[in-house]
Amino acid sequence: MTRSRRVVLAALCVETVAAVSAVVYGHLAIVAVAILYWIDLLFLMGRVGVQRLLARPTRGVGIARLLLPFRLLKHKRGTVSLTDRLPPVYPKNAPVAMTALWWGGLISVPTVLVAALTVPGEFWGNPATPFLLVGGAVSAAAKSWLLLRAHADTGVHEHEPPVAVNPWKRQALFVLYGVVLYLAADVSVSLAAENGVQDAGRDAMAVALLVVVLRLAYSVRVSRTRFRSGSAPEHGYRETKPSADRAISWLRSRGPEREIATLTPPSTPDRRPFETVEPKSRSVLAAGVLNALVAGYVVDDRFSEAGFNLRVLLLFEFLISLLFLLDGAVVLFLAVNGLVFGLLALLVLLSITHLKLALGGVEYRFYDAEVVAYDSGLGEPQWAVPYDRIEDISVESGLFGSPLWLDAGTVSFERVDDPPEDRLANQEPRSSLPFVSEPERVAEILRSRGGR
C-alpha cells in the first residue's frame, strides 16, 4: 500500500478553511461548514467532468438527450492538450463529461433556493462570509487540481472508460444537499433560541470541528492505493474504500455489456487535395443558436423529443409568469423568468460550443478518389468516403441548410453501403458537408468524380 501525498494535501486545502470557519462563525459554524462543503461538491462535479475528458478508452453510451445535443461528437477523433501537467483531453468524451456538469448545475438550483430562503441573514451579513466564499472556492479549486494530478499519475485514464469516473456516494449527497443545508440552518437557529448565542456557539463549533476531523480522517484513509503510479493497466486502479458500492457494481454486472474501443482515424492520401472547402463560421454560430431553440434538429434533421418537451415546459412557465405579473407579483415574475431565460441562455451556449467543437475546425478535402473530413484543430481526419460510394447528392439551403446566411448551404448525400450509425467503427455518422460556400459547385465536384 502507498499513500498519495497529493490526496492528503488536497484534503487539507478545504479542511483548513472549514476549521477556521468553525471557530469564527460561532453558533452559525455548522451553516458555514455546510456551505463550504457544498462549494467543494460543486468543484467535485467539475472534476468528474474533466476526468471523463481525460479517459482514452471510449464506450458507446446511450446519452440522455434531455438538454444536451452533443450527438455530433460521438465519433470525434483527436485530442487537445490543455497543459503539460495533465494528459490530453478527448473531445469525443464531451457528451459524458458535459452531462455531469449539466446535472450538477440543475441539482444546484434547490440548494441555492434553500440557501437564500432558510440561511439566517446574520450569516450573509457577517464580515467573514465573503472570505469564506472566496477562500472556499480557491481551496476547492486547489483540491481539484491536486486530485486531477493524482488521478493522472495513476494512469487509470489510459485503460478505463469515462463512465467509470462516477463518485456515487458524493453525488448522491450533492442531490440531497438542499436538505442538509436546511437542517444545518434549522439546528443553528434552534440552538441559539434555546441555549443562547454563547452556549450555542460552543456546541455548534464542537459539532463542526468533529465533522472536519472525520472528513480529514476519511480523506487520509482513501489516499492509500493498491498500486503505485505506472502499474500494469490490466490490474486496474482502485481506492481502498468500503464496499458500499457492491449494489451498484451488481447492477452494472446485470446490465448489457458495451464494447470499449479507442477509435482510429481512417487512412488518407499523403498528397495534397485538389480542392478544400470549410463550413462558414457565422453559419456554424447561427446553427448553434437555432439548434438550441429547436432541440437539435439542425445539421442532421434529428431532434430530441425530451428536449422538445423541455422547451415546451419553459414556454409554459413563461406564460404562467405573465399571470403573476398581472396579479402584481413582480418579484415572482422576475424570479421565474430569470430561471427560464437563464436556462435558455445556457442551452444556447452549450449548443454553440457543441457545433464549434463538431464543425468549427473541420475542412473537407477533395482527393482524386475520395473526400476526407479533416479537423485541423485536432490534427486528425474524421471520416473518408470514396466517391463511388456516394449517391443521391442534393443541396439544402434555407433555415436549416444555411441558418440565417443564404450565401452558404449544406451538401447532403447517401452512402451506397448505408451502414447503421451504431455500427460505424471508423466513420463519421453524418453524410453531409454542412454550411459550405458555393454548395452547388461542391455538389458538382462530387458528381463529376463518380458520385451519383
Q: How would you write 335-393 as a 3-class SS string? A: HHHHHHHHHHHHHHHHHHHHHHHHHHCEEEEECCCEEEEEECCCCEEEEEEEHHHEEEE
**pLDDT for position 264:** 59
Res 78 pLDDT > 80: yes
The per-residue pLDDT for range 289-302, each reduced to its tens digit, is 888 888 777 776 66
DSSP string, 224-245: EESS-TT--GGG---B---GGG
Average of per-residue pLDDT across 224-240: 42
The CB-side HSE value for 142 (13 A sphere, CA atoms) comes to 16
Q: Is 279 helix (H, G, I), strand (E, B) or coil?
A: strand
**pLDDT for position 406:** 67
User: Which of the residue ranges 158-167, 248-257, 299-308, 377-386 would you say has the lowest mean pLDDT?
Assistant: 248-257
Torsion of CA 111, 113, 115, 117, to 10 degrees: -150
**pLDDT for position 175:** 82
Residue 51: closest CA among 217, 167, 186? 167
**pLDDT for position 419:** 54
- pTM, two decimal places: 0.73
Res 2 pLDDT > 50: yes
**pLDDT for position 320:** 87
Q: What does the longest C-alpha to C-alpha distance in the chain come to?
A: 88
The per-residue pLDDT for range 126-144, each reduced to its tens digit, is 999 999 999 999 999 999 9
Q: Is 428 helix (H, G, I), strand (E, B) or coil?
A: coil
**pLDDT for position 22:** 93
At residue 256 the predicted structure's pLDDT band, cuts being 50, 70 and 90, is: very low
Average of per-residue pLDDT across 351-376: 90
Question: Domain 266-279+361-452 carries which CATH code?
Answer: 2.30.29.30
Residues in contact with 304: Cβ distance below 8 Å, sequence separation at least 6, in sequence order: 65, 66, 69, 295, 296
Q: Is 166 helix (H, G, I), strand (E, B) or coil?
A: coil
344: left (phi > 0), else alpha (psi -120 to 50), else beta? alpha
User: Which of the residue ranges 42-56, 146-160, 303-317 would you say has the lowest mean pLDDT?
Assistant: 303-317
Q: How far is CA 369 from the centre of its chain?
A: 39
Average of per-residue pLDDT across 269-279: 89
Look at the alpha carbons of 101, 44, 180, 185 in this order and tell me if their dihedral is positive or negative. negative
**pLDDT for position 263:** 53
Average of per-residue pLDDT across 274-282: 91
- 121 exposure class (CB count in 10 Å sphere: 0-12, 13-18, 19+): exposed
**pLDDT for position 109:** 79
Residues 446 and 390 sit within 8 Å (Cβ to Cβ): yes
The per-residue pLDDT for range 396-429, each reduced to its tens digit, is 887 777 887 667 889 988 887 655 554 544 445 5
Give me the residue label for grid cell 440552538.
Answer: 191
Angstrom distance (rounded) from CA 127 to CA 46: 29
Angstrom distance (rounded) from CA 381 to CA 359: 13
Q: Hey, what's the cell of 264?
A: 482510429
DSSP string, 138-164: HHHHHHHHHHHHHHHHHTGGGTS-GGG
Calculate what percentage of the chain has a pLDDT beyond 90: 22
**pLDDT for position 13:** 93
Average of per-residue pLDDT across 48-63: 73
Res 122 pLDDT > 50: yes
Report in angstroms the alpha-carbon separations of 169 from 90, 107, 172, 173, 447: 26, 15, 5, 6, 57
Taking CA 60 as the corner, what is the angle to CA 346 and CA 416, rounded to the nearest 5 degrees? 100
Residues 27 and 201 sit within 8 Å (Cβ to Cβ): yes
Residues in contact with 421: Cβ distance below 8 Å, sequence separation at least 6, in sequence order: 429
Average of per-residue pLDDT across 64-87: 73
Q: Residue ranges per domain, the chain? A: 2-261, 266-279+361-452, 281-352
Average of per-residue pLDDT across 260-271: 66
